[in-house]
Every structure is written in structure tokens, then in C-alpha cells.
Amino acid sequence: MSEVDFDGPDEIDTGVLRQVDAICSEFDRNWQAGFAPRMEDYIPRLPVPGMSVGFTDLLGIEIEWRRAAGEKPTAAEYVDRFPEFASLVRKFFSWDEPTVNSPVPPIPDSEAGQKSIDGIPKQLGGFRIERRLGGGAFGVVYLAQDPDLPRYVALKVPRSTRILTPEQRQAFVRDAEFASQLNHPGVVTIHGIQTIDDIPIIIQEFLPGGDLKDRLKAADFDFKQVVAWMIPIAEAIAAAHQKNIYHRDLKPANILLDEHGNPRVADFGLALHEQELWDHRDELAGTYAYMSPEQVRRETNRLDGRSDIWSLGVIFYEMLTGKRPFVGSTEQIIEQIKLREPRPPRQLNPAIPEELQRICVKCLEKRVARRYATARDFSEDLAKWQRDTQRRSDRIRSKPNRGALVATGASPAEKLPRVVPKGLRSFDSRDSEFFL
């Protein structure tokens, strides 16, 4: 096999980068879970246009975890494993010898001694690093102690290879800029941005409940819980839409949970303001399984809040059924989103209430005009179902318990009003209880 060119194309489509990020994030999570995944199993899944970037990111993730385990990986070892990527390996190891391209940006000289032997810093600026929370192709998230307040925060640190240009830097910090504009209880709170050695670091609230993606893997939820989660998520997106901000990458991994299980929308890195849509025409961005038909058709200039409503519908469908509405290869998913109607949720789970199926399917209408006009309309329909369900439960609880009457020794006839029908004679108001 010929050696891969390191430089590759001058520009890589945003959608390709997101695909690379999804693959690398999965690789990272499997390392975190203790499975010791192999790069050889992930490289074939990388899109060709993103092969160089993807290989480099996979390499960085694997080396980070191996160093954390006390190993000392070398360039020669990886050249032997991946001779077709020899130039990539050599370039990678030359970036940050001897720390081997830790995902953490270079630490200022005054703090160089604060880096631990596993490549994870003990200190970033004034923040004391407690542990690594997660990461992927775009960067790493650390749990840290705030130096000024008695609280933990999450630090989002980009990989140095992802902020080489002013445009890349701006793309990284726009996540914080959009989220801070919203100031909504359903959106992750941004505490600020701090620059260390010319590297921007986002400081945001730490949410200990994990993300919705991991929660979906762990258990099945009753429909009341699903609706209780979807309502505040939809309300948060409605608040973004009121400010003409469109998220474009809603998915379970971008819904974080606090210590009480309340959801917060995160990651506005792909979000666009309405005024920016035309400048991003023909752009493919997002996560394929959650993209709307207009997203996969690259009609960015025609997007509005109803594209996010589609993505909310996919999340809702997955929570109701345990499955995504569109699955398969990337090409198959795109084709299904464009042309195939999703299976009705009740075909997968007959216990799903008909009204919840109706709400879900309305979000997933191919034609934009047939979806909910606003995320708040979606939220209000869910809230109405929630109220109606609660009223039915209350009525059931308020009915006389005949079993309890028997248990106390009293017969139903002694406790309930005696009603005698009048037969063929006329009824009057005194007979009303007979019809209850």
C-alpha cells in the first residue's frame, strides 16, 4: 500500500470532520470503558477525505491512553504497524517530543512542571485538573477545580491541530458565544473563555449526570420520563430559535444531565445565526443520523428552526423505541432521510401511546411545512399529553376502593348510596346518582 500524503486536501468538508469526530469519540469511549480498542478496526471506517486527520486523531487518543497506563509508545512501533501512514506517524511524534502530542495544548514554560507523567496536566492556568471527562477528534474535556469559587467546572480544550487558523479558532469559541447569548436554564452555562499559551479554553458548568446517549444505553424509560426530558430540551431550543440561532447538531450526546437528571443542551459549535445561513450554503454539517432532509441536501441557506425540530423528532423516536428511525451506512442513512418514511413507533413498541406517536411522526415530516412550526408548539403538545395523563391517573386514584371497604368489614352497600331505579316511571334529579 502506498504511503498516505500528510497534507491532504486544503479544506475538508465540515460534515466529513464531524464524521471523523464521531468515529474518534467512539474509539475514545471504548478506551475509557477499558476495552482497549484497536486502531486497525477504526481506520477502515474513516471517510477518505478525512483519512489523514482521522488517523492522526486516532493515534493521539491511543497514545494518550497508553501513556496513562504507564506504557511508552514509540514512533518506530507505529511505523511498523502502519507503514502506509509512516509520514503521518513521524510528523505526529515530532510535534511535541517527548510528550507525544498530548491532546492538551502546549503549557506555558512557567507551568511546564505541572504536567503529570501520563500526559494529563495537573494544572491549566489557575485550574487544578481532577480527571479527564472525555474527548474526541476535536479536543478533550477535563474536570477541574475553579481557583476562585468552591465549584467544579468542565474545561474544553481543543487539540492544537484543530486551531491552526483564525477560522478554526473562531469555530471553536462560537460554541461558548452562542450558549452564553441564550442564558437559559435548559442550556449548559458558560463561565468564560481563558487563553493559555494562545490556546482558547472554554470554561463551562460541570454536569455530573453524563449525557443522554449513555443514559439511553443503560436502561429503558417509561413514557412519562421520556416526555419529562423532551419538554425542557424543546424549550431550550425554542429559546435559541427566538434569537434566530439554529443548533444543527442536536443528538443524545449533546444533551447533558445534571445531578438531578435534568437535561441541558450543549455543543453549539455548528450553530448558525440566521444572518449566516447564506454564507454557508451548500455546506454539509451535523451528525448524519440526526440530520434533516434539507441538511443532507446541503440546503443550509434554506434552514430554519424546523430543521432542529426534525432532529428533536429523531431523539424522541430513539427514546420511545430504543432505535433510530434511519440506520445503515452513511449513504443508506442519507437516502432514507431523503426518501423513506420512518416506521411508525408503535410498530416497534405497541405500548407507545398513540398521541406520542402522532407528535413524534409530525416532527419527522419530510416536507418542512408539515412539521411543527416552532419548538414551543412541539413542547406544548408534549405538555398537554403530560397533563392529560396526570389527570387520568388522579381520577383513577380518587375512585372508591371496593377492596378497601371489604377489608374494613363494611359491605359496599353500607358505604355507597342506595339507588333504586324507577323503571318505566319518569326520572327526576334524585335519580342522578344512578347514572354515575
- The DSSP line for 130-179 is EEEEEE-SSEEEEEEE-SSSSSEEEEEEE-GGG-SSHHHHHHHHHHHHHH
Q: What is the pLDDT of residue 250?
A: 95
Helical H runs in 33-50? Answer: 39-42
Using DSSP bridges, classify how beta strands 190-196 and 272-273 pair: parallel, antiparallel or unpaired: unpaired
Question: Residue 156: which residues within 8 A CB-CB, separation 6 or more?
Answer: 139, 140, 141, 175, 201, 202, 204
Q: What is the DSSP letter of 301?
A: G
Q: What is the pLDDT of residue 28?
A: 81
Q: Is 220 a catalytic residue?
A: no
Burial 198-233 (b: 16+ CB within 10 A, else e): ebbbbbbbbbebebbbebbeeeebebeebbbbbbbb
Q: What is the pLDDT of residue 13?
A: 64
Q: What is the pLDDT of residue 430?
A: 60
Q: What is the pLDDT of residue 104?
A: 37
Q: What is the pLDDT of residue 111?
A: 39
- What span, in angstroms and rounded, lies between the C-alpha atoms of 245 and 247? 7
Q: What is the pLDDT of residue 349?
A: 94
Question: Residue 30: which residues within 8 A CB-CB, separation 6 or more?
Answer: 36, 37
**For residue 258, how many other CB atoms are within 10 A of its CB?**
14
Q: What is the pLDDT of residue 193?
A: 92
Which string of DSSP letters, residue by residue, matches 171-225? HHHHHHHHHHHH--TTBPPEEEEEEETTEEEEEEE--TT-BHHHHHHH----HHH
Please identify which of the residues 211, 249, 267, 308 carries the catalytic annotation: 249
In degrees and rounded to multiples of 5, residue 386 shows phi and psi of -60, -45
C-alpha gyration radius of the chain: 27
Q: Copy the grid coordinates of residue 264.
A: 441541558
The tens-digit pLDDT sequence of the chain (436 residues) is: 455 444 444 455 666 777 787 788 788 878 876 778 999 999 998 988 889 888 988 998 888 788 877 788 999 999 999 999 999 898 888 754 433 333 333 333 333 335 443 456 788 889 999 988 877 656 789 999 999 999 999 999 887 666 666 777 877 888 889 989 988 999 999 999 998 878 889 999 999 998 998 888 876 779 999 999 999 999 999 999 999 999 999 999 899 999 999 999 998 888 999 999 998 888 878 888 999 999 999 999 999 999 999 999 999 999 999 999 999 887 899 999 999 999 999 999 999 999 999 999 999 999 999 999 999 999 999 999 999 999 988 777 776 665 555 555 555 555 555 555 555 556 666 665 555 5
**Burial of 177 by CB count in 10 Å (0-12 exposed, 13-18 middle, 19+ buried)?**
middle
Q: Check if the beta carbon of residue 272 is closer than 8 Å to that of residue 246.
A: yes
- What span, in angstroms and rounded, lies between the C-alpha atoms of 140 and 27? 13
